[in-house]
Chains A and B, each alone.
Chain A
Amino acid sequence: MDTVKPKKNPFSLQLDPELFKPASDEEKAQVVTQRESVSFMRDAMRRLVHNRMAMVCLVILVVITLIAIIVPMIYPYTYTQQDVTAKYLRPFQYSAKEQARIAAGQKVFPHIMGTDNLGRDYAIRVIYGTRISLMVGFISALIVVIIGILYGAISGYFGGRVDLIMMRIVDIIYSLPDVLIVILLSVAIKDFISTSKNDLIVRLGAGMISIFIVFGLLYWVGMARQVRGQILSIKEQEYVMASKAAGASAMYIIFKHMIPNCISVIIITAAMQIPSAIFTESFLSFVGMGVSIPMPSLGSLASDARSGLTSYPYMLLFPALTIFLIVLSFNLLGNGLRDAFDPKLRS
């Protein structure tokens, strides 16, 4: 290649023949190894991991959940254990009896958050309350996901008159005031609960059971609407028609094509559902409609703390802070999930 190239005018369109040499095997190999094939799910996860705020919230929630699950198993006090000699201890304070035991060389686990009016360890009660709140959040999310997806998918897929009737039912349910229903229901099922032999039902109490029933009855409508809207737009996609042309059944199309394409909406709606359920439960427990004593909930703890607010303000602080942390983290995580799964919606 020693031929003298004519001098190039920078504005001429004259092309360099060097650029048109056939590619070497090496270069070809480079083109063949393309970037790794990524599924939508993995792509979204990558975006989520890069969202620092969401990851911090996720870590906080995981830590809180682990504490709520594990600590009650190994903690030396239980949430019902009373000690009248140890009422209203401040954090890390010991009662006279406990001090005597320490003096005698025994080890006494400190009351990290003090004790309440009946001398129960406050820390374990807050942790137990957190457990209840998280349980309410997750169970209501589960109910919402299952009922909402099925209802929304069926309504959207079949469309027409089926859709019309199903969505009018949703409209009616949407307009029911949830707090009112909880109050009515818990009054109505109180008798039934008191005669029940099932230990768990008795322990949860009428308030809690009716909270779950009400969440199951009312809260899925938001999810059903979201899923239906999504299904309606997916239904118009030609790949659904191709599947139908191949002979696929309605159930096959719903589960193989439609629900996987709704997954972003489902995850986002469920993540937003959890804090709102936790908040409703706390609120209901606060006004005395939630868990029954002696079981604590963050809402009932906060309510109990009101009476001694001036002398023991920390008793309100702990449960309130926990609710705040849980609800805020879930909301921020929900935002992160929305950004990760639906990048187009990002504001």
Chain B
Amino acid sequence: MNEPVLVEVKNLKRYFPVNTGFLRTTPLKAVDDVSFTIGRGETLGLVGESGCGKSTVGRTILHLYKPTAGEVIFDGKTVGPGTIKEFRRRAQIVFQDPYSSLNPRLTVADIVGEPLDVNKLCKTRKERTERVRELLATVGISSEQMTRYAHEFSGGQRQRIGIARALASRPEFIVCDEPVSALDVSIQAQVVNMFEDLQSQFGLSYLFIAHDLSVVKHISSRIAVMYLGHIVEIAGANELYRHAVHPYTVSLLSAVPVPDPERARASHRIVLEGDVPSPLHMPSGCPFRTRCSRATAKCAESCPQLEEVAPGHMAACLEL
């Protein structure tokens, strides 16, 4: 982490009020006290099981959901009412579902041109068409297809259109919310490579969300592991692969297929017992303790905080 910090997330929380009876709501703690930083030109991978709050983190950072508490500091300025307009232009998002993320009533040109229109980035009609053409070329969609509707494209092509839209306002930071999960394995690699190319071309910073480690491995310089709304471990990608300390990360890593059969035989897969607790009824103390093989009585008492176990490597576990 030698790059200057672009995005700093401080104690971010996002609770959803959930109706639990007549006129009664209980807060669902989708994201509970999350902090990290992302450097300029860096990719932070964010992994965790389905429903652990990864998308909510991404959307709350972009203020698409109002943060319940905490703040986001972008390029030295706290994102708030005064800075939101500029922040919207400089930070963008690519969604998981290539089907629901493109409006079926609009042509590709209008979808990609939307950020240009909204931010009034193009003065003339011609300039806008030129820019859209250029953006589509960047993601490998031919400009003859500009007047087509989104439903006429395949999943991979739709995801490229979504990426072109995210690039339109020349952002510096993009939240990639499982951008390849819905795609064929053969296309996944193409799209991941495209993200890398775009990063080196435009100097982008990514928050790259995925639900398994094998996807983020290639693209991330650092990886954060999430469990039930908390970040349990965060470290450089290589460090995390070699010296994971949190029991949850260790179990995730054991599930990653190993290409080397010798090593594969030597390692054994740790299968977590039980289900993820409902975020409405969080266990006391450490959120992971109900499924942790190392849990002790102490774990039920207090929630562990992230502590440095090695330079740049933090983990939240009382049993270290």
Write the residues of chain A forming the contact surface with B, with a CB cutoff of 8 angstroms: 37-40, 237-239, 241-248, 252, 256-257, 260-261
B88 at the interface (CB under 8 A from A): yes
Asked if B101 and A37 sit within 8 Å, CB to CB, the answer is no
Asked if A242 and B95 sit within 8 Å, CB to CB, the answer is yes
A-chain residues with CB within 8 Å of residue B165 when the two chains form the complex: 242, 246
B-chain residues with CB within 8 Å of residue A247 when the two chains form the complex: 85, 88-89, 115, 118-119, 169
- 5 new A-B pairs (CB below 8 Å) besides A237-B103, A239-B102? A40-B105, A237-B101, A242-B114, A257-B105, A261-B104
Asked if A238 and B105 sit within 8 Å, CB to CB, the answer is no
Asked if A39 and B88 sit within 8 Å, CB to CB, the answer is no
Asked if A245 and B93 sit within 8 Å, CB to CB, the answer is yes
Write the residues of chain B forming the contact surface with A, with a CB cutoff of 8 angstroms: 59, 62, 64, 85, 88-89, 91-93, 95-97, 100-105, 107, 111, 114-115, 118-119, 147-149, 152, 162, 165, 168-169
Among residues of A, the one whose C-beta sits closest to the C-beta of B169 is: A246
Q: How far is the CB of A37 from chain B (nearest CB, A)?
A: 5
Main secondary structure of the interface of A (DSSP, over half): helix
A-chain residues with CB within 8 Å of residue B89 when the two chains form the complex: 247
Among residues of A, the one whose C-beta sits closest to the C-beta of B85 is: A247
Asked if B100 and A239 sit within 8 Å, CB to CB, the answer is yes
How far is it, in angstroms, between the C-alpha of A238 and the C-alpha of B62 when the chains are bound? 14
Instruction: Please list the 10 inter-chain residue pairs (A to B) with the smallest Cβ-Cβ separation, ordered nearest first.
Output: A247-B88, A246-B115, A238-B101, A239-B103, A238-B95, A37-B148, A248-B118, A238-B100, A260-B105, A237-B100
Q: How far is the CB of B267 from chain A (nearest CB, A)?
A: 38
Instruction: Give the most central of A241, A260, A261: most B CB within 10 Å.
Output: A241
Asked if A257 and B88 sit within 8 Å, CB to CB, the answer is no
Interchain Cβ contacts within 8 Å, total number: 69
Among residues of B, the one whose C-beta sits closest to the C-beta of A253 is: B118
Asked whether A246 and B95 contact (CB < 8 A) given A37-B152, A237-B100, A239-B100, the answer is no
How far is it, in angstroms, between the C-alpha of A257 and the C-alpha of B88 when the chains are bound? 19
Asked if B97 and A252 sit within 8 Å, CB to CB, the answer is no
- From the candidates B64, B100, B107, B147, name the one contacting A245 in the complex (CB within 8 A): B64
Q: How far is the CB of B150 from chain A (nearest CB, A)?
A: 9
Asked if A39 and B101 sit within 8 Å, CB to CB, the answer is no
A-chain residues with CB within 8 Å of residue B168 when the two chains form the complex: 246
A-chain residues with CB within 8 Å of residue B115 when the two chains form the complex: 246-247
Asked if B103 and A257 sit within 8 Å, CB to CB, the answer is yes
Among residues of B, the one whose C-beta sits closest to the C-beta of A252 is: B118
How far is it, in angstroms, between the C-alpha of A260 and the C-alpha of B119 when the chains are bound? 21
Asked if A238 and B97 sit within 8 Å, CB to CB, the answer is yes
Asked if B85 and A242 sit within 8 Å, CB to CB, the answer is no
Asked whether A246 and B118 contact (CB < 8 A) given A257-B103, A261-B105, the answer is yes
Among residues of A, the one whose C-beta sits closest to the C-beta of B91 is: A245
How far is it, in angstroms, between the C-alpha of A244 and the C-alpha of B23 when the chains are bound? 30
A-chain residues with CB within 8 Å of residue B91 when the two chains form the complex: 245
Asked if A39 and B85 sit within 8 Å, CB to CB, the answer is no
Asked whether A246 and B114 contact (CB < 8 A) given A241-B59, A261-B105, the answer is yes
B-chain residues with CB within 8 Å of residue A38 when the two chains form the complex: 149
A–B complex contacts, Cβ < 8 Å, 17 sampled: A37-B107, A40-B105, A237-B100, A238-B100, A238-B101, A242-B101, A242-B162, A242-B165, A244-B64, A245-B64, A245-B88, A245-B91, A246-B92, A246-B115, A246-B165, A257-B103, A261-B104
How far is it, in angstroms, between the C-alpha of A257 and the C-alpha of B111 when the chains are bound? 11
Asked if B149 and A39 sit within 8 Å, CB to CB, the answer is yes
Among residues of A, the one whose C-beta sits closest to the C-beta of B93 is: A245
Among residues of A, the one whose C-beta sits closest to the C-beta of B92 is: A245
How far is it, in angstroms, between the C-alpha of A105 and the C-alpha of B73 when the chains are bound? 96
Instruction: Give the most central of B92, B93, B103, B162: most A CB within 10 Å.
Output: B103
How far is it, in angstroms, between the C-alpha of A245 and the C-alpha of B105 when the chains are bound? 19
Among residues of A, the one whose C-beta sits closest to the C-beta of B98 is: A238
Asked if B101 and A245 sit within 8 Å, CB to CB, the answer is no
